[in-house]
């Protein structure tokens, strides 16, 4: 059931207009022509705030529910259990939080009109406070593997796919279109783009979320996407500073250690962040990683004064908003308690505190630090001024609300969907075609088998079905037989039997490893003698772990609808493969040598 918010409920109320007017916000033209006047106004707002209101403004919090005031009972129960409030409006009234982060699992993102209504409800609650302030609503809309707002919004290829396309024009267009759609539903900060340089194929948390392994290429794509988002009045957020690309530990569950020297950091990790700053980036997110060459204390970067202030602020000259990665992640909780983490982050130079596991503990920890003098109140004012500048720059004081008409004319339009499909066609990468099997002639009988990982938000189904439907529509006779990411021996044998009589088998892998079940599946299919076309559904490194004998191999970099449909058109020869590897694929038997270098990609 769709929760479509009425047009009237999305319009700005008279009371809210009065609240905004009381802030004295000038027109965008006036604000851009006089930088001193906005700061004067914003400092006047800060001067009216209590210590508790200032502390709250630093937090960006999760909250359950599709509505700011009337969530479902299960979401009320979750809010009471985790936050001590019933809904978003109570959260804002109690803690004065400066931002909200939307998640699919928190039931914030059902459909565009519902999201717009939730956003307006949140803004109304913010403007009903003693010191009325709009909230900065954010989400992780990276596209590809990480997407919180799904269909009917436009979903683009992810970062590594865009890196394979190599077009800064496409990256800027992605940011501009995605930003316009996010803004239309009230989301004014996107935790994207990922500025990490993925030089470690074993990286468990970044991988295809990165544009690639070439620092200069990643820097160009990051800068382009930043400009696109901010042209649509959405704050872009480069992450994860000082660079999460060479890790083998997931900071959600542990504390990664980067062993680069300071010189290697400057050459490998820093260029995309420098480029983002040069492009006028609104926000930069820190990483929960240890980087001994940058800070020998082994504090995570999020809590490191030498890294956040010494390098990001002073060396790189960045004076925009710095936000932590989620404070619920283990990488930032191993060394200090949840009451100390926010204090140490502020002392390091951070401005926004993202989603601590226990807001009351974090809030009271900051209040105690201010009361004791450990954290002077002027230090809070510094961060709040940066946050309010960002809100003002992105138009939240002047235009905090969105409308149903804006949703309808912006989100998932035919032109936007066509742009995404066209981009995806430029990213699909043909890694191998030794027999010249591809493109496949129309009318062939195909079996599609392989991994069916959980789909990112808003996709229409598992990869085998999406690909089967796309190829059927292109004139093929298709049977789909999903076997999962850990196929059993019985499933492998059943797939081999099903291959009999087919003209070709298309097998999708998802992070296959040496000797793993997915590799055994491919080997069993090759042994049937039926031509096997391999499709790497996520990391392009999978091909290194396959037994020889496959007829062709392609990389899609993700398993979303837009990328799979593009792959189908490439398989059918409707478009030629144009992607080029943005990372090197090392040999499985000797990782010091490349099976395929950066820039590899075949055509036909």
Per-residue pLDDT band for 8 (boundaries 50, 70, 90) equals very low
441 and 394 in a common domain: no
Is residue 418 assigned to a domain? Answer: no
| 7 pLDDT above the threshold of 60 | no
315 and 228 in a common domain: yes
Mean residue pLDDT of the chain comes to 92
498 and 539 in a common domain: yes
Instruction: Compute the distance between CA of residue 41 and CA of residue 22 in angstroms, rounded to an integer.
Output: 11
325 and 442 in a common domain: no
Mean local confidence (pLDDT), 320-339: 91
Domain extent at residue 318: 8-410
Question: What's the half-sphere exposure (Cβ side, CA atoms, 13 Å) at 590?
Answer: 5
In this structure, what DSSP letter does residue 602 have?
A: B
| CATH code, 39 | 3.20.20.300
Is residue 415 assigned to a domain? Answer: no
171 and 278 in a common domain: yes
493 and 386 in a common domain: no
| 309 pLDDT above the threshold of 70 | yes
Q: Are 307 and 348 in contact (CB under 8 A)?
A: yes
459 and 401 in a common domain: no
Name the more confident of 458 and 61: 61
310 and 174 in a common domain: yes
Mean local confidence (pLDDT), 258-278: 97
Kindly list the catalytic residues.
Answer: 252, 325
Mean local confidence (pLDDT), 424-437: 96
| 42 pLDDT above the threshold of 60 | yes
Per-residue pLDDT band for 56 (boundaries 50, 70, 90) equals very high
Helical (H) or strand (E) element with 43: helix 36-47
Q: Last residue of some domain: 410, 440, 470? A: 410
- The answer to whether the peptide bond before residue 242 is cis (omega within 30 degrees of 0) is yes
463 and 353 in a common domain: no
Is residue 604 assigned to a domain? Answer: no
Q: How many domains does the chain divide into?
A: 2
What pLDDT score does 32 carry?
43
CB crowding 266-288: b at 16 or more within 10 Å, else e? eebbbbbbbbbbebebbbbbbbb
Q: Which residues partner with 146 through β-bridges?
A: 143
Is residue 40 assigned to a domain? Answer: yes
96 and 23 in a common domain: yes
pLDDT digits (tens, 9 = 90+) for 355-410: 999 999 999 999 999 999 999 999 999 999 999 999 999 999 999 999 999 999 99
Is residue 34 assigned to a domain? Answer: yes
| CATH code, 464 | 3.40.50.1700
Instruction: Compute the distance between CA of residue 83 and CA of residue 205 in angstroms, rounded to an integer.
Output: 28
Instruction: Compute the distance between CA of residue 186 and CA of residue 331 in angstroms, rounded to an integer.
Output: 31
Is residue 246 assigned to a domain? Answer: yes
pLDDT digits (tens, 9 = 90+) for 57-84: 999 999 999 999 999 999 999 999 999 9
Predicted model pTM: 0.92
What pLDDT score does 112 carry?
97
Q: Last residue of some domain: 410, 444, 473? A: 410
Per-residue pLDDT band for 514 (boundaries 50, 70, 90) equals low
Name the more confident of 511 and 34: 511
pLDDT digits (tens, 9 = 90+) for 97-148: 999 999 999 999 999 999 999 999 999 999 999 999 999 999 999 999 999 9
Mean local confidence (pLDDT), 519-531: 96
443 and 397 in a common domain: no
- Tell me the percentage of the chain whose pLDDT exceeds 90: 85
Q: Last residue of some domain: 383, 410, 437? A: 410
Mean local confidence (pLDDT), 294-313: 96
Is residue 417 assigned to a domain? Answer: no
489 and 547 in a common domain: yes
What pLDDT score does 35 carry?
65
Is residue 419 assigned to a domain? Answer: no
């Amino acid at each position: 059931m769709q929760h479509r918010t009425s047009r009237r409920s999305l319009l700005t109320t008279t009371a809210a207009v009065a609240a905004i007017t009381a802030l004295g916000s000038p027109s965008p033209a006036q604000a851009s022509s006089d930088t001193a006047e906005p700061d004067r106004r914003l400092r006047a707002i800060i001067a009216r705030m209590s210590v508790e209101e200032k502390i709250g403004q630093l937090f960006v919090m999760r909250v359950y529910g599709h509505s700011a005031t009337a969530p479902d009972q299960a979401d009320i129960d979750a809010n009471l259990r985790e936050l001590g409030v019933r809904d978003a409006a109570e959260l804002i009234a109690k803690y004065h939080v400066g931002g909200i982060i939307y998640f699919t699992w928190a039931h914030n993102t059902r459909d565009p009109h519902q999201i717009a209504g939730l956003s307006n409800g949140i803004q109304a609650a913010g403007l009903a406070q003693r010191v009325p302030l709009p909230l900065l609503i954010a989400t992780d809309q990276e596209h590809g593997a990480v997407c919180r707002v799904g269909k009917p919004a436009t979903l683009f290829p992810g970062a590594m796919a865009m890196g394979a396309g190599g077009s800064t024009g496409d990256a800027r267009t992605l940011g501009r279109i995605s930003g316009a759609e996010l803004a239309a539903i009230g989301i004014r900060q996107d935790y994207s783009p990922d500025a990490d340089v993925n030089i470690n194929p074993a990286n468990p948390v970044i991988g295809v979320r990165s544009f690639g392994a070439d620092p200069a290429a990643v820097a160009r794509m990051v800068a382009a996407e930043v400009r696109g988002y901010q042209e649509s009045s959405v704050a872009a957020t480069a992450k994860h500073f000082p660079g999460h690309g060479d890790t083998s530990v997931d900071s959600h569950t542990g504390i990664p250690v980067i062993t680069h020297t300071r010189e290697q950091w400057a050459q490998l990790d820093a260029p995309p962040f420098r480029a983002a700053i040069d492009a006028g980036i609104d926000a930069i997110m820190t990483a929960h990683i240890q980087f001994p060459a940058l800070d020998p204390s082994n504090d995570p970067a999020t809590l490191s004064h030498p890294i956040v202030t010494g390098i990001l602020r002073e060396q790189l000259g960045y004076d925009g908003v710095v936000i932590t990665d989620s404070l619920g992640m283990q990488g930032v909780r191993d060394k200090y308690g949840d009451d100390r983490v926010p204090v140490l982050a502020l002392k390091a130079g951070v401005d926004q505190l993202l989603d601590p596991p226990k807001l009351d503990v974090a809030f009271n920890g900051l209040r105690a630090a201010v009361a004791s003098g450990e954290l002077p109140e002027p230090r809070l004012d510094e961060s709040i001024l940066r946050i309010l500048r960002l809100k003002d720059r992105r138009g939240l004081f002047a235009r905090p609300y969105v409308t149903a008409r804006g949703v309808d004319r912006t989100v998932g339009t035919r032109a936007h969907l066509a742009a995404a499909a066209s981009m995806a066609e430029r990213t699909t990468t043909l890694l191998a075609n030794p027999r010249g099997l591809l493109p496949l002639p129309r009318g062939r009988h195909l079996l599609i088998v392989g991994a069916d990982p959980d789909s990112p938000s808003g996709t229409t189904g598992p990869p085998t079905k999406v690909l089967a439907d796309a190829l059927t529509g292109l004139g093929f006779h298709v049977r789909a037989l999903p076997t999962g990411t850990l196929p059993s021996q019985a499933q492998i044998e059943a797939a081999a039997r099903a291959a009999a009589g087919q003209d070709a088998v298309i097998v999708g892998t998802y992070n296959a490893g040496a000797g793993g079940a997915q590799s055994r599946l491919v080997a069993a299919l090759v042994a049937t003698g039926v031509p096997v076309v391999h499709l790497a559904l996520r990391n392009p490194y999978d091909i290194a772990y396959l037994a020889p004998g496959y007829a062709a191999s392609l990389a899609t970099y993700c398993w979303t609808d837009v990328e799979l449909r593009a792959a189908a058109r490439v398989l059918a020869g409707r478009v030629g493969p144009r992607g080029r590897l943005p990372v090197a694929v090392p040999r499985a038997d000797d990782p010091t040598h490349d099976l395929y270098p950066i820039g590899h990609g075949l055509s036909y």
